[in-house]
Amino acid sequence: MHKNFPLVSIALCTYNGEKFLRQQLESILQQTYKNIEVIIIDDCSTDNTAAIINEYAQEYHIIKFLQNERNLGFSKNFEKAIESCTGEYLCLSDQDDIWEKNKVEQLYKNIDNHALIYHDSDFIDESDQRIGEESMFTRYNMYEGSSALPLILSNCISGHATMFSKKLLPYLLPFDKRFYHDWWLAYVAFNIGSVKYLNQILVHYRQHESSITDNLNIKVKSLDISSENRIAVNLNWLEKCSLFVANKEPILINKAFTLFSNIQKGKSRVELFLFIITYYDLLFHIISKPKGLLSKINYARKIAFSINPPFRNDS
């Protein structure tokens, strides 16, 4: 890749990542797309993470390394890294994954005029061995489309799998620490532009006890991932989405927030039931298998009229 290609920034955040960091840095530095900068922000690691990064930064001029004076936490550290990027496009990187060498190249070739593109990832353990035959694609119904409605109840877009345009930045930042930054990234992207899914495994996504996210539920005993067990309505998140200044569908998103909120206010649930039926295929696109009309009606009834509706009490 020649320098005439646009600069792609890779924002990598670290915290006590010495165990797997070298592998991830090597996979990034071996990218076939060469016009990249690697912005690394360390969040006050107490192990050898900073020493490892300094070693690489001295050898590779494309690495820019900053250390926080105080611990910012996961989302705010990514916010700082993103603010430090200067590329036309940005990719986010975890400290413990392994990238395919053509990841950046394939994303750039396929992003076209989309605001964001994302790809499939498989799962590896602490020994670099693939965990089963699953991938993100087999666990979620990957979504690309024009509506952000599927993002108010779930998300299939992990930050490590994305490339997005810098035009999202004025709407994206600052991050709200209450929520995963990649959920917000996905929601913003669908509202500001279009999103494309690339059906290629381009990252080996490491799952272990210290992982921030837990897609394989390795921290709990149950592996039940049926859609009904994965629905968790977070009213704080719905409110956040409804207040976004650039919503494509403000009336629809506001209505969703109001109707789900009405359950806790003791108001009629009939309108929510009808709303779920009307927009079922969008609301549950990511986490629900195709259902017939009767199944949709029954599921909508369970959510709208349940004695214990599936609300999350956390932020």
The predicted-structure confidence for 103-162, as pLDDT tens digits, reads as follows 999 999 999 999 999 999 999 999 999 999 999 999 999 999 889 999 999 999 999 999
Q: Is 166 within the bounds of a domain?
A: yes
Q: How far is residue 314's CA from residue 180's CA, in Å, rounded to a whole number? A: 13
Radius of gyration over alpha carbons of the chain, in Å?
20
Q: Is 161 within the bounds of a domain?
A: yes
Helices (H) and strands (E) in the chain, counts: 13, 9
Residue at a domain's end among 154, 172, 206: 206
Angle at 144 between CA 123 and CA 122, to 5 degrees: 5
- Minimum mean pLDDT range among 79-83, 150-154, 305-309: 305-309
Q: Are residues 18 and 99 located together in one domain of the fold?
A: yes
Q: Percent of the chain beyond pLDDT 90? A: 81
Strand 36-42 to 63-67 pairing: parallel
Residue at a domain's end among 177, 206, 235: 206
Residue 209 has pLDDT above 80, yes or no: no
Q: Are residues 26 and 152 located together in one domain of the fold?
A: yes
Domain, as residue range, for 135: 8-206
Q: Is 237 within the bounds of a domain?
A: yes
Q: Are residues 155 and 16 located together in one domain of the fold?
A: yes
**Where are the strands (E) in 24-95, listed by range?**
36-42, 63-67, 89-93
> Quick count: other Cβ atoms within 10 Å of Cβ 12?
25
Around 142, how many Cα atoms within 13 Å sit in the side-chain half-sphere?
A: 18
Q: Is 211 within the bounds of a domain?
A: no
Give backbone dihedrals phi and psi of 268, rounded to 5 degrees, phi first: -60, 140
Q: Are residues 240 and 200 located together in one domain of the fold?
A: no
pLDDT at 218: 42
Q: Is 253 within the bounds of a domain?
A: yes
pTM: 0.90
Q: Are residues 120 and 28 located together in one domain of the fold?
A: yes
Q: How far is residue 195's CA from residue 189's CA, in Å, rounded to a whole number? A: 7
Q: Is 314 within the bounds of a domain?
A: no
Strand 195-206 to 98-99 pairing: antiparallel
Q: Is 222 within the bounds of a domain?
A: no
Q: Are residues 194 and 235 located together in one domain of the fold?
A: no
Q: What is the mean pLDDT of the chain?
A: 90
Q: Are residues 156 and 104 located together in one domain of the fold?
A: yes
Structural domains in the chain (count): 2
The predicted-structure confidence for 240-295, as pLDDT tens digits, reads as follows 999 999 999 999 999 999 999 998 787 889 999 999 999 999 999 998 877 899 99
Q: Are residues 144 and 283 located together in one domain of the fold?
A: no
Q: Are residues 202 and 232 located together in one domain of the fold?
A: no
Q: Is 214 within the bounds of a domain?
A: no
Residue 157's CATH number: 3.90.550.10
- Of the candidates 36, 50, 44, 53, the one whose C-alpha atom is nearest the C-alpha of residue 77 is 44
Q: Are residues 156 and 119 located together in one domain of the fold?
A: yes
Q: Are residues 143 and 15 located together in one domain of the fold?
A: yes
Q: Are residues 184 and 52 located together in one domain of the fold?
A: yes
